[in-house]
Structure 1
């Protein structure tokens, strides 16, 4: 047998992924960098959708549109109105038949008709023994009983209406037997005695009454209970007078056919089996046309599905997950295309987790280190795109990525090594291992050796990021966070011989990982404690004594807090002389340590500019006032410029 392989020409590639997961991650990352939590960012992606498929918001709009359509489709008292119309037809036809008859019995019959109560249910009950003279009137009255039976049974068992047309007493008796068998099955299930075999026997005998072909008792109960709950909400939505009339009419119609007892038993059994359903409450229906009892029940059952789906699609409740949204519910409410839309959204969320970008912890959804690395590289790429567009490139340097200085020795290669390969010794090992003449030289993993290097940090960079609440209020926090990630990615990947630490400061300062920076939530505390931030920066620089110390500060406000003698933050605005003095004293300590402090201001407040100029005068560092959107360009370009200068000094 032989096989030929070639390009697929049968339509869309069946193996093509449904959506570019990297694009999805970038979209999540954009929102995270703008200040959203990973859960909020993922929710936004799922709400917006991907490609040509609807997202949660579009599905929710479809659900709400269908709900409005249903609420405008008609009133809930349609069956009661039909009964009244049929009763009026019967009485008019009977009076026409009695009028030409001169007999006293005709006058007495007219008097009996005139004495009928206005309540339709009581009037129908009073006419139960009446001897109709008009065949047309008798037919109209008989139609009332038939209509009520059809509506009630069709409301409970969808599709029953057709089976009840021209139904004989034997047909009604078979329906009564079906309901009794169903009730017995529900009772057995409540006792824990029901078996699948019993259900299959029931369906074999009565399956014609259930066109949706349920596969087990749970599916059957779900369908029947949804409609029974909707019927109860329909009754609750009528006025007390309407409800009383309709209940009495239905009781009469079912009682005459021997179905009332089994129907009441079924309602109770379904309510016990599914107490979680909304078994009450009023529903508003605004249409002009009256809906029959069965149609109204179906509309209310569909409305309940749509309301439930609306809540699930919002994903705004605790512990929300796409797995909560049942496919059968989506298909019932919105059709099969919505199932395909939801399936793609689930695949996006699943792929983000399975490919290691998202993980769920005890405190919610988090970005993994892999996702944070991509976030940083994306932020860095965008900064470089700006630099190149302004003609300020030159970031591709000769020694980028070097792991350290060569020691002259080599060692065997181990998985994960990034050191340069020692080609000569690698080939020598392969020759010594396979020295048979005429045999081709083959390299194996044990032959490889790498050049041994000694890591030396040429610079230690402390990046201080203002996390005071004013950063969020001014809308500069997202840009500061993006800049910090970009610089961290640049140093970690391109210049691993340099060291970097991110320090966030508000009322207090703290060292932050990239993950903590990304997921930072606002405490809405007051204070810009630059003094504490500089103290932590000095501690970091002391760990790298042989590196050139660099401190970069991103802030939008002058210092308004400092650590008092008791170790607690002392906040005041406007800043007190004590806060200014404590901060400048820490600047002096950093200066004596040899650290350069470069400051990037995100506001042009005169007091801020005056203070930072004083810092620059005392330290010798530079002060920048980048325009909105150019912070990353300034910070990264400043780091690259300084590093280029250090390399030239070393070369000299």
Structure 2
């Protein structure tokens, strides 16, 4: 018999047990409910009814009590329900980081070793004479005094420039990144949730930078009809709106942010699933969702060229497969000199992390 035979899906790896197992599921649900604790708990309760997540001596009510005791949720006096706390927001970011970065480590990606020496923070075993331009904190004073005593004697202490010995440090690049996230209506169109993976990536990337590269900067810009920056703490609550896609406004804001950064390495990561369809002209919006509007496209391509002149590469993560949209992205990438990934939602995080770490090794002069 040809064809497919369908049967009921019986999940075999649903966590079952106490607080830690339920917390992982609760944090995952919060990504899909945009930080709404009440909706996430309602979903959790339904999943428990259907799949028997809890044990006889520990139910969802016990889990909610423990969430409150451990500071993950607070009573919301306005709605009579619950709201998540800063501790939960951080836990969501850590969970996203472990999920995405863990896959990179298992696949052997993400190495960012460099054999260059220069300005940095991590000392190595190399020593050399002082050269004009070296910072004072690189000078090994103990070794330098020792050199002066050997070279000039100890009776009449003298130190010259040739006595100074410098400790080499491992080269480090500092990078300023703007992550642009498309929140137009198309990000949830046709029943496909694209905004949740984008939020996960943003939270994981922010946690990676905060914990591993604390001197790097990450700014997050969302764009629909307009563009505006959001704080890290706002990410779990981010939702798609009834917007068109004003890519130009997003790029304009990203460039303005990066102009104020003092680092040499600057880059833009853009997560989008569609074409630019909107511009703001004074107080009115020019919108056209049909095809590729020449007026909107040309202005967006001009901004890509400006980014190239400013040495700001744009890496576009395109999560749509329409050939004519990919053609636009190829043109956009060619003009900017950046890169484009035509990624599925499943591999989005790994692509962005690998590219971010790789770009940290690039030095823009």
In structure 1, list runs of 5 or more residues that go unmatched: 1-17, 54-339, 410-455
- Cross-structure match for 2:207: 489
- For the 8 Å contact 2:223–2:250, the answer to whether it is kept is yes
- Separation in 1, partners of 2:94, 2:32: 16
**Would you say 1:572 and 2:285 are equivalent positions?**
no
Q: TM-score, normalised by structure 1?
A: 0.41
SS at structure 2 position matched to 1:544: coil
SS at structure 2 position matched to 1:644: coil
Question: Relative to 1, partners in 2 of residues 1:358 and 1:569: Cα closer, same or farther, differing over 3 Å?
Answer: farther
Q: Larger strand proportion, structure 1 or 2?
A: 2
Deviation at 1:405, TM superposition (A): 8.4
- For the 8 Å contact 1:25–1:371, the answer to whether it is kept is no
Q: Deviations over 1:427-458 (max 9, x none)?
A: xxxxxxxxxxxxxxxxxxxxxxxxxxxxx981
Deviation at 1:643, TM superposition (A): 1.1
Question: Relative to 1, partners in 2 of residues 1:624 and 1:544: Cα closer, same or farther, differing over 3 Å?
Answer: same
SS at structure 1 position matched to 2:345: coil
**Would you say 1:619 and 2:299 are equivalent positions?**
no
- For the 8 Å contact 2:223–2:245, the answer to whether it is kept is yes
- For the 8 Å contact 2:195–2:239, the answer to whether it is kept is no
Number of matched pairs: 291
**Would you say 1:41 and 2:44 are equivalent positions?**
no
Deviation at 1:630, TM superposition (A): 0.2
- Cross-structure match for 1:540: 257
Question: Relative to 1, partners in 2 of residues 1:38 and 1:504: Cα closer, same or farther, differing over 3 Å?
Answer: farther
- Separation in 2, partners of 1:365, 1:522: 23
- Cross-structure match for 2:55: 52
**Would you say 1:366 and 2:83 are equivalent positions?**
yes
Deviation at 1:397, TM superposition (A): 9.5
Deviation at 1:20, TM superposition (A): 4.5
- Cross-structure match for 2:4: none
Q: Deviations over 1:395-452 (max 9, x none)?
A: 7999xxxx9789978xxxxxxxxxxxxxxxxxxxxxxxxxxxxxxxxxxxxxxxxxxx
- For the 8 Å contact 1:19–1:348, the answer to whether it is kept is no
Deviation at 1:589, TM superposition (A): 2.5
- Bigger Rg, which one: 1
Deviation at 1:347, TM superposition (A): 3.1
**Would you say 1:354 and 2:74 are equivalent positions?**
no
Question: Relative to 1, partners in 2 of residues 1:25 and 1:510: Cα closer, same or farther, differing over 3 Å?
Answer: farther
Question: Relative to 1, partners in 2 of residues 1:51 and 1:408: Cα closer, same or farther, differing over 3 Å?
Answer: farther
**Would you say 1:591 and 2:308 are equivalent positions?**
yes
Deviation at 1:547, TM superposition (A): 4.1
- Greater RCO, CA 8 A, separation 6+: 2
- Cross-structure match for 2:176: 460
- Cross-structure match for 1:437: none
Query: Within 5 A, what are the aligned runs for 1:370-409?
Result: 370-394=87-111
Q: Deviations over 1:568-613 (max 9, x none)?
A: 4322112422211221222223222221100010011122111111
Question: Relative to 1, partners in 2 of residues 1:568 and 1:349: Cα closer, same or farther, differing over 3 Å?
Answer: farther
Q: Deviations over 1:498-524 (max 9, x none)?
A: 00011111222221223322112343x
- Separation in 2, partners of 1:462, 1:537: 6
- Separation in 1, partners of 2:194, 2:318: 11
Query: Within 5 A, what are the aligned runs for 1:503-514?
Result: 503-514=221-232
- Cross-structure match for 1:27: 25
Question: Relative to 1, partners in 2 of residues 1:579 and 1:369: Cα closer, same or farther, differing over 3 Å?
Answer: same
Query: Within 5 A, what are the aligned runs for 1:309-458?
Result: 344-361=59-76, 362=78, 365-394=82-111, 458=174
Q: TM-score, normalised by structure 2?
A: 0.71
- For the 8 Å contact 1:531–1:563, the answer to whether it is kept is no
- Separation in 1, partners of 2:264, 2:85: 30
Q: Deviations over 1:154-180 (max 9, x none)?
A: xxxxxxxxxxxxxxxxxxxxxxxxxxx
- For the 8 Å contact 2:176–2:217, the answer to whether it is kept is yes
- Separation in 1, partners of 2:226, 2:68: 34
In structure 2, list runs of 5 or more residues that go unmatched: 1-15, 124-134, 138-171
Bigger drift between 576-585 and 492-501 goes to 576-585
- Separation in 1, partners of 2:93, 2:113: 17
> Alpha carbon RMSD of aligned pairs, Å?
3.0
- For the 8 Å contact 2:74–2:85, the answer to whether it is kept is yes
- Cross-structure match for 2:152: none
